[in-house]
């Protein structure tokens, strides 16, 4: 539906929506704008943070820059500006990401250094995300295709239920679209398949390996999208009368073998927990990016969490709504913030994701609505 919509227009529309919902913040008091994209060319190039700030109507005095950590682009934009807030350099900043995968498929135009293969630094499979997912199945045979299929089906069902209950709509921005049929209005995610069944999933082909285990039903679809968030320090929250939705406790990024990049959130989460002085048992809600079902299952298996634990992605995830690479980190945060408001008994939550070329990213958040009691 966004085939004829520019990538920068997507992020500008999201930014305008953010500013409209936070009108107490004077536009000239925004200290910086960090916008991520994985493929920084064409309408995703030209220092997106600066160009999108100008297009969204921010004063010329507001600077901006672009960021790239592939899938964790928006997450890195958030943690980077949060560091500026913590240091005292920023009062308020905007962080987000955009990916128009229709215009800019993953890896298009890239020219990997021949040393990667010549010196066997990485396997050729490392640049094919689907093949890295198959390798996790190889490493953990008890994480079967059937378990992955069931996880994919439940993601579709949970997203459909969340839409039906009106959980997701408050954080969406409607965008005008254009097609051969004329003008339209995008008001909901396009790739959802609530009719998904285990029988249907069992018959899908495995495009990444003959007789493999990863299918379209257990993978995030190619998606176009943009997200933005406002990050503010405590003094700015008080000055502008803002209502904080989450408080950042700690964050961490970690590296793993590129061939099994889906395992990245395991060490990044362990690292973030250590820095926060917490254990996995302290976490009451998880928003895990569903790049592939097997990737999430490997995380849950490592930490001893059931495949269908109600704390995990209660409103579904990227298998249903898509994973527009650099935009997804903030989507996870938006959903966790909304769930915090509904669960004052939960003090801590996690947003985590795997990252191409062998990385993982995790942010631990505290619920400002926490009532001091556990369920």
pLDDT tens readout for residues 155-182: 999 999 999 999 999 999 999 999 888 9
Put the strands of the sheet holding 224-232 in their side by side order: 64-67, 32-36, 92-100, 224-232
Cα 353 from Cα 363, distance rounded (Å)? 9
Q: pLDDT, tens digit, for every residue of 193-218?
A: 999 999 999 999 999 999 999 999 99
Q: pLDDT, tens digit, for every residue of 358-371?
A: 999 999 999 999 99
Confidence of residue 374 (pLDDT cuts 50, 70, 90): low
Stretch 95-115: mean pLDDT: 91
Q: pLDDT, tens digit, for every residue of 18-27?
A: 999 999 999 9
**SS (HEC) of 185-234:** EECCCCCCCCCCCHHHHHCCCCCCCCCCCCCHHHECCCCEEEEEEEEECH
Confidence of residue 116 (pLDDT cuts 50, 70, 90): confident
Tokens coding 282:
């302290």
pLDDT at 70 over 60: yes
Q: pLDDT, tens digit, for every residue of 282-317?
A: 999 999 999 999 999 999 999 999 999 999 999 999
Q: Is 142 a catalytic residue?
A: no
Among 100, 137, 323, 343, the active-site one is: 323
pLDDT of residue 352: 98
Neighbour-count burial of 140, counting CB atoms closer than 10 A to its CB (0-12 exposed, 13-18 middle, 19+ buried): middle
Q: pLDDT, tens digit, for every residue of 38-57?
A: 999 999 999 999 999 999 99
Neighbour-count burial of 310, counting CB atoms closer than 10 A to its CB (0-12 exposed, 13-18 middle, 19+ buried): exposed
Among 71, 100, 104, 343, the active-site one is: 71
pLDDT at 110 over 90: no
The DSSP line for 9-76 is HHHHHHHHHHHHTTTTS-GGG--EEEEE-SS-SGGG-S-HHHHHHHHTT--TT--EEEE--GGGHHHH
- For the ranges 18-27, 115-124, 254-263, 350-359, which has the lowest average pLDDT? 115-124
CA-nearest of 216, 186, 198, 197 to 322 is 216
pTM here is 0.96
Cα 183 from Cα 185, distance rounded (Å)? 7
CA-nearest of 56, 63, 71 to 33 is 63
Q: Is 71 a catalytic residue?
A: yes
pLDDT of residue 117: 85
Could you give the percent of the chain with pLDDT greater than 90? 91
Could you give the percent of the chain with pLDDT greater than 70? 99
pLDDT at 375 over 60: no
Q: Is 323 a catalytic residue?
A: yes
**Taking the CA of residue 186 as centre, how many other CA atoms within 13 Å lie in the half-sphere pointing to its CB?**
21
């Amino acid at each position: 539906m966004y085939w004829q919509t520019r990538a920068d227009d997507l992020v500008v529309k999201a930014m305008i929506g953010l500013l409209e919902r936070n009108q107490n913040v004077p536009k000239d008091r925004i200290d910086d704008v960090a916008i991520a994209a994985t493929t920084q060319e064409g309408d995703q190039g030209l220092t997106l943070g600066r160009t999108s700030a100008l297009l969204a109507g921010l004063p010329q005095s507001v600077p901006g820059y672009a960021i790239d950590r592939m899938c964790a682009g928006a997450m890195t934009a958030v943690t980077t500006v949060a560091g500026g807030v913590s240091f005292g350099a920023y009062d308020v900043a905007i962080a987000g990401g955009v990916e128009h995968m229709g215009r800019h498929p993953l890896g298009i135009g890239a020219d990997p250094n021949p040393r990667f293969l010549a010196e066997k630094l990485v396997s050729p499979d490392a640049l094919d995300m689907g093949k890295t997912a198959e390798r996790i199945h190889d490493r953990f045979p008890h994480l079967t295709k059937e378990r992955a299929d069931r996880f994919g089906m439940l993601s579709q069902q949970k997203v459909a239920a969340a839409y039906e209950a009106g959980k997701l709509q408050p954080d969406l921005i409607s965008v005008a679209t254009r097609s051969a049929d004329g003008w339209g209005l995008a008001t909901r995610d396009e790739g959802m398949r609530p009719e998904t069944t285990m029988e249907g999933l069992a018959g899908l082909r495995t495009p990444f390996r003959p007789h493999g285990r990863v299918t379209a039903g257990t993978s995030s679809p190619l998606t176009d999208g943009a997200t933005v968030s406002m990050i503010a320090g405590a003094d700015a929250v008080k000055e502008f009368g803002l209502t904080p939705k989450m408080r950042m406790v700690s964050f961490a990024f970690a590296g793993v073998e590129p061939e099994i990049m889906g395992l990245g959130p395991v060490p990044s989460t362990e690292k973030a927990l250590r820095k926060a002085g917490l254990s996995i048992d302290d976490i009451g809600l998880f928003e895990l990016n569903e790049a592939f079902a097997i990737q999430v299952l490997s995380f849950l298996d490592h930490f001893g969490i059931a495949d269908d634990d109600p704390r995990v992605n209660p409103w579904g995830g990227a298998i249903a709504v898509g994973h527009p690479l650099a935009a997804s980190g903030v989507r996870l945060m938006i959903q966790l913030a909304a769930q915090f408001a509904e669960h004052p008994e939960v003090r801590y939550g996690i947003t985590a994701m795997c990252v191409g070329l062998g990385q993982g990213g995790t942010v631990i958040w505290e619920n400002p609505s926490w009532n001091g009691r556990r369920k």
